């Protein structure tokens, strides 16, 4: 068990000796003969309790107490004033400065030992509560972080970090509410990588995973901030494009740009490849009023691109 550290501050040798004999079994005793020395010792050893004489030459006990209580390092150290004064006004001043108790001279051995023991016990309990509070705070933060991680995993793809189908559907529903008020269009873009299975088979699944993460980053970089890029599964991605006005061909311009960046060379651990994509586009409300019907229409448009030679995009036919 770690011994309590008690700092005894008194300029008179007789008082130091008396308290030393009384408290020798109560902890590790440290001594200071002046106010300045007391401050230095307190900051250095961080005692569990300070017995501080009120009347000393130079800095008196009140001055020392004020300095220690203003210092973040020493402000929580309990201080018991030692005094020969029998003055309630003086005690009021000391308690106002932050002392927790008074011991009067001449010393009554039983009272000194009991008061020191009681305050050391209170300090120990205080330290234990602070430690438990800190541990509890860490556990609570870990629990909060775990819940956030679980919540994130429930709505995001584990490999790429992109939104998954659940979050895609939530954002589509929110976009529909806005579109109904503003008469805007919403486009859904279905992207399937061309020849991804061959990449996995020839260059390995680790290479394929890194390729998927790279493409995910490129897709996010080349759409608007309001758009949602989601991983639909395997080598399939879906992009939700809200806030499209009138006959604007924004989705087609975006699709053309995405085809270019997907074709850029990719290299990982000394291996390199190029890959292309086929993209199908469907638009709310013309090709459907829910995410499933739009995905189906976009998927059909994408397959028409596959049959026509891949590496292109196609818009869905109006229902």
Whether omega before 285 lies within 30 degrees of 0, making that bond cis, reads yes
Q: Cα–Cα distances in Å, from 35 out to 39, 46, 65, 236, 293? A: 6, 15, 9, 75, 82
Question: Would you list the DSSP string of 268-284?
Answer: ETTEEE--EEEEEEEEE
Distance of alpha carbon 181 from the chain centroid: 38
Could you tell me the fold of the domain covering 5-131?
A: Rossmann fold (3.40.50)
Q: Are strands 185-194 and 236-244 parallel, antiparallel or unpaired?
A: antiparallel
Q: Which residues pair with 7 in a beta bridge?
A: 30, 50
Which residue, chain included where needed, has tokens 């009681």?
118
Percentage of the chain with pLDDT > 90?
Answer: 77
Instruction: Give the pLDDT confidence of 31-54 residue by residue, as tens digits.
Output: 999 999 999 999 999 999 999 999
pLDDT at 284: 92
Residue 296 has pLDDT above 60, yes or no: yes
d(CA 304, CA 279): 9
What CATH number does the domain located at 165-315 have?
Answer: 3.30.70.270
Can you state the angle between helices 61-70 and 88-97, rounded to 10 degrees? 20
261 CB-contact burial (10 Å; exposed 0-12 / middle 13-18 / buried 19+):
middle
Mean pLDDT of 131-135: 91
d(CA 117, CA 109): 12
Cβ neighbour number for residue 172 with a 10 Å cutoff? 23
d(CA 241, CA 172): 9
Instruction: Give the pLDDT confidence of 160-176 residue by residue, as tens digits.
Output: 999 999 999 999 999 99
Cβ neighbour number for residue 158 with a 10 Å cutoff? 10
What's the chain's average pLDDT?
Answer: 92
**Phi, psi (deg, nearest 5) at residue 153:** -65, -30
Question: Would you list the DSSP string of 156-167?
Answer: B-TTT--B-HHH
Q: Which of 24, 77, 22 is nearest to 52 (CA)?
A: 77
Instruction: Give the pLDDT confidence of 73-116 residue by residue, as tens digits.
Output: 999 999 999 998 888 888 899 999 999 999 999 999 999 999 99
Mean pLDDT of 302-319: 85
Q: Which residue has the higher pLDDT, 9 or 2?
A: 9
Cβ neighbour number for residue 60 with a 10 Å cutoff? 14
3-state SS string over 17-78? HHHHHHHCCCCEEEEECCHHHHHHHHHHHCCCEEEEECCCCCCCHHHHHHHHHHCCCCCCCC
pLDDT at 194: 95
Mean pLDDT of 122-139: 90
d(CA 107, CA 23): 12
Active site residue ranges: 235
pLDDT at 36: 95
The boundaries of every CATH 3.40.50.2300 domain in the chain are 5-131
For 120-146, letters b (16+ CB in 10 Å) and e give beebeeeeeeeeeeeeeeeeeeeeeee
Q: Which of 109, 134, 122, 112 is nearest to 48 (CA)?
A: 122
Mean pLDDT of 178-188: 90
The boundaries of every CATH 3.30.70.270 domain in the chain are 165-315
DSSP E strands: which ranges in 195-303?
228-233, 236-244, 266-268, 271-273, 276-284
Against a cut of 0.85, is the pTM above it? Answer: no
Mean pLDDT of 206-220: 96
Mean pLDDT of 238-264: 88
Question: In which band, very low, low, confident or very high, does the pLDDT at 2 lie, cut at 50, 70 and 90?
Answer: low
pLDDT at 318: 41
């Amino acid at each position: 068990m770690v011994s309590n550290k008690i700092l005894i501050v008194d300029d008179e040798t007789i008082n130091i000796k008396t308290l030393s004999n009384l408290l020798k079994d109560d902890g590790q005793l440290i001594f200071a003969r002046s106010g300045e020395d007391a401050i230095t010792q307190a900051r250095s050893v961080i005692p569990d309790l300070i017995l501080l004489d009120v009347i000393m030459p130079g800095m008196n006990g009140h001055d020392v107490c004020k300095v220690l209580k203003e210092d973040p390092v020493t402000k929580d150290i309990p201080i018991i004033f030692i005094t020969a004064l029998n003055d309630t006004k003086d005690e009021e001043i000391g308690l106002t400065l932050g002392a927790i108790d008074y011991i009067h001279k001449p010393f009554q051995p039983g009272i000194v030992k009991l008061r020191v023991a009681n305050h050391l016990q209170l300090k120990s309990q205080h330290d234990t509560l602070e430690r438990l509070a800190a541990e509890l705070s860490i556990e609570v933060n870990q629990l909060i972080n775990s819940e956030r991680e679980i919540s994130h995993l429930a709505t995001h793809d584990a490999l790429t970090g992109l939104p998954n189908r659940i979050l895609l559907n939530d954002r589509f529903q929110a976009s529909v509410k806005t579109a109904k008020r503003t008469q805007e269009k919403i486009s859904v873009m279905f992207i399937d990588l061309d020849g991804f299975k061959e990449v996995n088979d020839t260059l390995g699944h680790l290479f394929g995973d890194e390729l998927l993460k790279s493409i995910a980053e490129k897709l996010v970089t080349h759409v608007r901030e309001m758009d949602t890029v989601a991983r639909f599964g395997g080598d399939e991605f879906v992009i939700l494009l809200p806030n499209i006005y009138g006959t604007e061909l924004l989705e087609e311009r975006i699709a053309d740009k995405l085809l270019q960046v997907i074709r850029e060379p990719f290299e990982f651990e000394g291996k390199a490849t190029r890959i292309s994509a086929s993209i199908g586009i469907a638009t709310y409300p013309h090709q459907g009023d829910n995410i499933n019907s739009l995905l189906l229409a976009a998927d059909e448009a994408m397959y028409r691109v596959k049959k026509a030679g891949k590496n292109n995009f196609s818009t869905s036919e109006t229902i």
